[in-house]
Structure 1
Amino acid sequence: MTPNFIDENNVKWLFGTEATQAMTENLNAQPATEMKELAELFGEAATTAELLMRSATRQGKSISEEHTQRVRNQMEDLSRIAGAMAKTGNGLAEHYATYVQDAAKRWLLTLDVLRQRGDNFVEHEAAGCPPVLIYDYEVVVDGRNLDRPCNYQLLRIVPPQGTEVHDWKRPYIIIDPRAGHGGGIGGFKTDSQVGVALHDGHPVYFVNFTRDPVPGQTLADVTNAEAEFVREVQRRHPDSAKPVVTGNCQGGWATLLLAATNPDLTGPIVLNGAPVQPWSGEVGKYPMRYNGGILGGTWQPMLWSDLGGGQFDGANLVSNFEMLNPGRNFFAKYYDLFANPDGGKDRFLEFERWWGGFFILNEAEIKWIVEQLFVGNKLVKNQAQLEPGQTVDIKHVKAPIIVFTSYGDNITPPQQALNWIVDSFTDVDEIRIRGQRIIYMIHEQVGHLGIFVSSKVAKKEHTEVTSTMKTIEALPPGLYEMKIDSVEGHGQDKSFTVSFAERTIDDLRKIDDGREEEAGFAAVARMSEIQSEIYDIAVRPVVKSMVNPALSETMRKLHPLRLQRSLVSSVNPFFAMLENAAQQMDPRAPVSDSNPFVQAERLWARMVEQQMDFVRDARDALYEMTFLSLWTNPLAVDFGKPQAIGRTLKSETELRALPEVEMALAHMSSGGFVEAVVRMLVLMADSRGNVRRDRLERSATVMTQDEPFKSLTMDERTRIIHEQTLIVTFERDKAIATLPDLLPNKKDREQAVKVVQFIPGKIEEMAPDTLELLQQFHKVLGLKPVTEDVLEDPLKKTKPSTAAE
């Protein structure tokens, strides 16, 4: 303990008895306070040490295991190739001559493909970088003509010949990411999101954007335009349900902004690989989230925007993406083309047409994205404002939210896609109270682009989201994980068994390995604000004075990503000659895979890629440990505490006091057949914890195709489900006890319990809790116990008397 050097008697003589007592208490308490602060300091230091140890251990283990195995495989291949060469003997020279001849042809063909890529780039740039959709389309609304103009457009996808779509079916609107590239990735393959929706007969619309933004446009203008797009789609399809809006990556959080600021506008929203909680991740993985702390915060895009004459070049974002995997982006994709220039040509050019389309953002747009989202994390903290006074609250979203994420996504890992739910809601009860349905799926392997392109491993998820959408809205409010349990059939006849498992906020927390490192991001956010202020006052005037439009345009054209394409094109006389040379070359007969020199070439390529991957992995480990050392130490954490404060979460007592809860509980005994059936279905869903798709489809059939439910509008149906969910959540026992008040007529009681029993199916397939609850319904309603199956829809034959009344 810290000794007390103040003599109590002297203090008493100077200040009196009361003052002495007060000062003595303060002095005696001081050591305890100091010890507490010291303990907190040691605790924070221990946390930093633990994070560094965890990072070093995981990174070291991952690097060691992966690269040791890859080197071992290479040594085995090298030994096998050497042995094959030794056995070949005199034929080795012939194999070599054949290989050299083929390799020379492949070099020529590869260079010619790169020339074609350059020509495509020049042509694409000259055309203004139109969307890379493989489907025909027509422009429905041009955002440049709206009251608040922006460079966004609403496109209607023209169905291919032989594909029939129905205007009465729910439309799909797809919003692609505007993160450096152009639009079209959600529909540049037949098995993409567009293709899946068209195949199911749904009208499909696409939100595109032109290369150059309208001067002065902001993200508020963009959100306003997207809302107008949704209204136009609804005007075109008055007999259909509200459209599904699918957002990819950056388009995902843009979709969330749209639904939060226009809560009554959209149908279900789908967020694919959307980084809504950008601070989150897993220690030892996902280095991209550390960019703000290592490369600088908001001042960086401010500087690049000033150099661009008030516009930010999206090619800079693409460069960041390429640096995530330099082995693939700088070597392997080119070697794959060289290894098979004939068969790989079309695929290479198709992807590069999108990857090489670089788009522009206004300075206000990129600053909002960095300041409010990626560095500031203000959207999740309920602090983000599209416009002064217009705070965006995620809790305002009324439509079902479907989140698709993957462990194989190194740009938007599951933690970034899902932790916003943890930070926004107290528990699942609050999700129910708010009337929200949040459904998520986690794939094990598919990468970031595969989520949008709908690669084979992800296609079944997109198919199931589309075909199950109509049944998702029949779910009671809550948090669910959508799982594809089994697959039957092949090809076009393939079908999936889907279930929806109820989940809790704690289930989402288990996906993460802890969030201690996020305190460092708060420190980065505060430092970013200081840096941007200093830049704005001291540096920006100097930079702007040195920049003119000609210089800005020259810098854009000389960007390395543009330069490598424009130089290797027919604009360059040297490469212009390649076209004739490639056409005059004799047809290439691929060398056999058994040729030892072909095998040696492939081994060399694997070794080069492995070495580049090793450098990348070492860089990522250093990157992460540097961030943790700089920003998670006690001083930095203390510095960042003002920015670490999240949104205030309401307690259970506060949630119960919400007006909508009090209103629902006050009308517990009000209603009739519809309210009684919905309440019993909510109770059953609550007891099961897992809902199979066949049962959900039966529930959706009853709720949408049978009277008296059929006459309800979607909003009325949603309101009743929400109201009954509130009653079940807060007063479960009374919810059951008051069922007779809703069903005074015996005939209606019998009809209602038959409808409810029809949903889970056969008695032998029911969970014990479900059967027990059904028996409880019968008992409280004064009916005989359940003994027989109800396998046909009772409402198809008769109508409840309350409906007729």
Structure 2
Amino acid sequence: MNARQPAGTAGDQAPAQETGSAGPSPSLFPEFPAFAAHPVAQAAWEYGVDAWQRGILFLDILRRRGNETAEHERGGMPPVLVFEHEALMDGRDMPKPVNYALLRIVPPETHPTDPDKRPFVVIDPRAGHGPGIGGFKADSEIGNAIRSGHPCYFITFFRDPCPGQTIEDVARLEGHFLSVVAGRHPNAPGKPFVVGNCQGGWALLMVAAAAPEVTGPILLAGAPVAYWSGVRGRNPMRYSGGLLGGTWLSSLAADIGNGRFDGAWLVQNFENLNPANSFWEKLYNVYAKADTEGPRFLEFERWWGGHFLMNREEIDWIVQNLFVGNHLTAGEVHSADGRNVIDLRNVRSPVIVFASWGDNITPPQQALNWIPDLYASVDEIVANQQTIVYCLHPSIGHLGIFVSASVANREHTELFCALDLIDVLPPGLYEAKIEDVAPGTSHRDLIEGRYLVRFERRTIDDILALDDGREDERAFEVVRRVAEINQHLYDTYASPFVRAASTEITAEAIRETQPARMERTLASDANPFMMWAGALAPKVRENRQPVSPDNPFLAMQEAMSEQIVSALNQYRDVRDAMQEQLFEAIYATPWLPAILGMETSVRRAESPAIAALRKEVAELRKREALAKIGEGTAVDAFLRVLAYVTQGKSAIEERPFNLLRKLARENPPDMRITLAQFKDAVWRQSNVVCLDPAAALQALPQLVPEMQERRRVMVLAHRVLTVGGPLDDDWLARYREVVAVLGADHSSPATREAAADTKADTKS
């Protein structure tokens, strides 16, 4: 029989042993016993040997996982970053200690960074796991920023919270970190670009609302903000608060933990969403591919198994104000002294939302419905001078948003490349579309990445259309009220006794026996029964005899696995349907609100005083813009021409902007304007054109009184407008209106010469 070649393994491997019919086999098992000559018996023997060997390798991988977890804990549970980094600031040394720190990512020699580029800052979620998911692979958020030459920073946190620290303390410290980062790069074209992953996203949004001067554009990646939203039959996690009776259970868990909440319980909630993956597929995949799957599995499990703690004050604030209370978008989150309120309308930087239809933890509705909660129409977004961009992935799961290499190399990379364009987009609501570059696309040199990015204008109705209606959110008003009652009862009658009975010894004992930790401890060298697996695994690797892919028993193994997955998925679907029906039977019926003496509403209305104030501010901005309609420079005139010609266009793409940047770099240094100045001019002129297009057009000659300057403006405008192709009928008509107002006759020699130059430039 031919010798088999061993598959690649996670550990050291010896070359495949030659086998033959003469003499004893040097391997751990003979390939085939002489007494079994039947093909079925031969297939069964080969499969049995392979399955036994894979079982040993599988147990050894689990043993190594347990050992690495223990080693990670002994090392203080540092962030699982693959990039070299250095600590710049430690929040534990601040006057108000907080268990957060600011790290600078040290760029590798192969990818030096430019200190004058916009710095990037990544904030990871503190949702039970430790930090590092934004940079635990080369193809990641941090990896893409480094490869693009941007200085990169990471806001990390430690396992144990400082005594008495609150979410407000954390937000204040993160704002201070961002100010420090901005101060380190005074020549950057803008404030730091900040990425908030999952729960780091809502934390970032609060920082940007409370201190809008410290952030540049912000990216909310898989971040829940509208916590009651979802689609019936698809998003069961939102019912958990109601079915558990509110928020008191998290307070109980923190009290049992001697004032600290164990993040392992949050991780367990995530795993319960998909029992087929958590209890079978993940481990079966390691067993089935025991030769090759070890490194990837151990790399991810190092982060997934690192469970961190929160103070009771922190977890109570999160569940009571956000997950169950949903106070953030209603403007009902106040500072501890009651003087300040977090109003998301105060965010001045562009907000980028990245969500996925395959995400069952933060579905697109939870990531986006805060927009219609704040604004009734896009006109209100424009009046508030806010820019919101969202990008929807068709299928990736929640963790894939942060760890998938394909997402990192497509969505994250392209959004990063288009960051300056996003920063100067006129206020409004946009959807980012990332597409392959079609053959024959003109000006491919003006496309920065491997894909073409464009930003299509959207309305509030487009956001609402992503949901199946918001009537189902009425029931969550009742949940919030029930949670407040139960929380008060627990705090008054039960919490004092639980806290009195808890000590750090009992708390640590409970944490150590938590199932997520026990499965690692029992499979490590701390369990003497696992030592044999570590001793036997090297010998198995040396004598590996993998079964052939066409072995019928291997096919039976795969079929059995598929049946188990199918059964667990059916159990999940039945469980989720029953939970949804039970939730609606309790909270979506009229009897419970009547008992509680409350009325429910889909959207809490803004107070008349605040609404009147916002209307007055919008009117004031309108009057100020129209009062200065005849003021400006040639740059203002050029941007007004673009705004007028493209008014009503549904999309803005990257090529015209990249052409402008290219032309700007060719200007002498004393004639260049900063990105911030360009952004201000874009906003001014788009606002003027939006408010009164006719008046904006007629005032153009006041901005460029000289005919020669007018021609230069028109030539440049024509060059930019035709990057994507010739002007269509609507644009051409508007362009001719501008030419007529500025007095540039199409038949004049100067205009023909300018048009010829423009045509030549466009072809080049």
Q: Normalised by the size of structure 2, how large is the TM-score? A: 0.88
1:452 to 389, 395, 402: 402
Whether the 8 Å contact between 1:688 and 1:767 is mirrored in structure 2 is no
Instruction: Give 3-state SS (helix, strand or coil) of 2:213's partner.
Output: coil
Secondary structure at the residue paired with 1:350?
helix
Q: Distance in 2 between matches of 1:344 and 1:763?
A: 46
Alpha-carbon distance, 1:652 to partner? 12
Whether contact under 8 Å (2:122, 2:194) holds in the other structure is: yes
Partner of 2:483: 528
Partner amino acid, structure 1, of 2:344: I
Matched, 1:329 2:278: yes
CA 1:767/1:271 → structure 2, altered by over 3 Å: closer, same or farther?
A: farther
Name 1:130's counterpart in structure 2.
Answer: 78
**Is 1:394 paired with 2:344?**
yes
Letter in 1 for 2:198: C
32, 37, 42: which one aligns with 1:94: 42
Equivalent in the alignment of 2:701: 740
1:414-458 CA-partner distances (Å, limit 9, x unpaired): 111111111111311222222221111111011111111133255
Q: Quick one: which of 125, 145, 153 aligns to 1:177?
A: 125
One-letter amino acid of the structure 1 residue matched with residue 563 of structure 2: M
More helix by share: 1
Equivalent residues of 1:755, 1:793 under 8 A apart: no
Q: Is 2:450 the partner of 1:502?
A: no
Change in CA separation of 1:301 and 1:789 when aligned onto 2, cut-off 3 Å:
farther
1:778 aligns with 2:739: yes
Which residue matches 1:269? 218
Distance 1:718 1:92 in 2: 74
Task: Tell me how far 1:722 sits from its aligned partner.
Answer: 2.8
Letter in 2 for 1:432: V
**Which AA in structure 1 matches 2:549?**
D
Q: String of CA shifts for 1:47-97, please: whole Å, max 9, x gaps.
A: xxxxxxxxxxxxxxxxxxxxxxxxxxxxxxxxxxxxxxxxx9921111111
Distance in 2 of aligned mates of 1:366 and 1:526? 18
The gaps in structure 1 that reach 5 residues or longer are 1-87, 795-805
Look up the match of 2:504: 549
User: Once superposed, what is the RMSD of the aligned Cα atoms?
Assistant: 2.5
The whole-number CA distance in structure 1 between the counterparts of 2:670 and 2:430 is 24
Which position in structure 2 is the counterpart of 1:65? Answer: none
Per mean C-alpha deviation after superposition, the further-off stretch among 528-537 and 180-189 is 528-537
Q: Which amino acid is the alignment partner of residue 434 of structure 2?
A: I
Quote the offset at 1:733 in angstroms. 2.0
Structure 2 CA distance, aligned partners of 1:553 and 1:182?
Answer: 18
Query: Aligned residue for 2:599?
Result: 641
Answer whether contact 2:475 2:600 (CA < 8 A) is retained: no
Q: By how many angstroms is 1:204 displaced?
A: 1.1
Pick which of 268-277 and 538-547 moved more: 538-547
1:756 matched to 2:704? no
8 Å Cα contact 2:79/2:130 also seen in 1: yes
Identity %: 41
Q: Is the 8 A contact 1:280 1:416 kept in 2?
A: yes
Distance in 1 separating the partners of 2:617 and 2:218: 28
Please tell me whether the aligned partners of residues 687 and 769 of structure 1 are also in contact (alpha carbons under 8 angstroms): no
Q: 1:230 to 1:792 in 2, by over 3 A?
A: farther
Aligned partners of 1:428 and 1:505 also within 8 Å: yes
* Alpha carbons of structure 1 residues 594 and 235: separation in structure 2 relative to 1, 3 Å: same
1:537 corresponds to which letter in structure 2?
T
- Paired with 1:754 and 1:641, the residues of 2 have a C-alpha distance of 62
Cα distance change, pair 266–701 in 1 and its aligned pair in 2 (3 A): farther
Measure the CA separation in 1 of the matches of 2:482 and 2:553: 55
| Correspondent of 1:433 among 359, 375, 383 | 383
Confirm or deny that 1:603 pairs with 2:539.
Answer: no
**1:434 counterpart letter in structure 2:** N
Whether the aligned pair in 2 keeps the contact of 1:446 and 1:458 (CA below 8 Å) is no
Helix, strand or coil: the match of 1:312?
A: strand
Deviation per residue, 1:114-145 (Å, 9 max, x gap): 11111011111111211111111111111112
**Distance apart, 1:769 and its partner CA:** 2.4
Shift of 1:548: 1.6
8 Å Cα contact 2:664/2:672 also seen in 1:
no
Greater CA drift, 512-521 or 689-698: 689-698
Q: Deviations over 1:234-280 (max 9, x none)?
A: 22222113211001100111111111111111111111011011111
SS, match of residue 220 in structure 2: strand
State the secondary structure of the residue aligned to 2:563.
Answer: helix
> Which residue does 1:376 correspond to in 2?
325
The whole-number CA distance in structure 1 between the counterparts of 2:426 and 2:665 is 15
Q: Is the 8 A contact 2:163 2:311 kept in 1?
A: yes
CA contact (8 A) 2:49 2:545 kept: no
Q: Is 1:272–1:405's contact at 8 Å kept on the other side of the alignment?
A: yes
| Aligned-partner Cα distance in 1 for 2:480–2:197 | 25
Match of 1:278 among 202, 217, 227: 227
Distance in 1 (alpha carbons) for counterparts of 2:508 and 2:62: 25
Deviations 1:737-760 (A, max 9, x none): 222222222233222222322221
Structure 1 residues 264-314: Cα deviation after superposition (integer angstroms, max 9, x where no partner)? 111111110110111111111011111111123221211111111111110
Pick from 459, 467, 488 the counterpart of residue 417 of structure 2. Answer: 467
- Quote the residue 1:339 is aligned against: 288
Q: C-alpha displacement at 1:651, in angstroms?
A: 8.3
CA contact (8 A) 2:417 2:449 kept: no
Any conservation in 1 of the 2:358–2:398 contact (CA below 8 Å)? yes
C-alpha change, 1:762 and 1:155, in structure 2 (3 Å) is: closer
Counterpart secondary structure, 2:471: coil
Give yes or no for the alignment of 1:419 onto 2:369.
Answer: yes
> Partners of 1:189 and 1:701 in 2: how far apart?
33
> What corresponds to 2:145 in structure 1?
197
Letter in 1 for 2:186: P
CA distance in 1, matches of 2:178, 2:320: 28
Kindly tell me the number of residue pairs found equivalent between the two proteins.
Answer: 706
User: 1:485·1:498 contact (CA, 8 Å) conserved in 2?
Assistant: yes
Match of 2:58 in 1: 110
Separation in 2, partners of 1:449, 1:502: 28
Find the counterpart in structure 1 of residue 14 from structure 2. Answer: none
**1:631-656, Cα deviation, whole Å (9 max, x unpaired):** 12233466553675525295899267
C-alpha separation in 2, matches of 1:637 and 1:716? 54
Question: Structure 1 326/604 Cα, relative in aligned 2: closer, same or farther at 3 Å?
Answer: same
- Is residue 758–residue 793 contact of structure 1 (8 Å, CA) maintained in 2? no
The 1:416/1:762 distance shift into structure 2, 3 A limit, reads closer
For residue 402 of structure 2, give the secondary structure of its aligned residue in structure 1.
helix
2:658, 2:276 → 1: CA distance?
A: 47
Greater Cα shift, 303-312 or 723-732: 723-732
The CA deviation at 1:721 is 2.8
Matched, 1:408 2:408: no
SS at match of 1:391: coil
CA contact (8 A) 1:150 1:222 kept: yes
1:107 counterpart letter in structure 2: G
C-alpha displacement of 1:665: 2.1
| 1:777 Cα offset (Å) | 1.2
Alignment partner of 2:38: what SS? helix
- In 2 relative to 1, CA 678–615 (structure 1 residues): closer, same or farther, beyond 3 Å? same
**Per-residue displacement from partner, 1:207-252 (whole Å, max 9, x unpaired)?**
1111111111111111111112112212222211321100110011
Aligned to 2:16: none
| Pair 743,335 (structure 1): closer, same or farther in 2 beyond 3 Å | same
Distance 1:322 1:401 in 2: 30
1:695 aligns with 2:656: yes
Is the Cα contact below 8 Å between 1:172 and 1:203 reproduced in 2?
yes
CA contact (8 A) 2:262 2:308 kept: yes
Q: Does 1:238 align with 2:193?
A: no
**Is the partner of 1:772 in helix, strand or coil?**
helix
Q: Offset at 1:714?
A: 4.2
Counterpart of 1:517 in 2: which secondary structure?
helix
CA distance, structure 2, for counterparts of residue 519 and residue 204 of structure 1: 43
| CA distance in 2: counterparts of 1:314 and 1:625, whole angstroms | 29
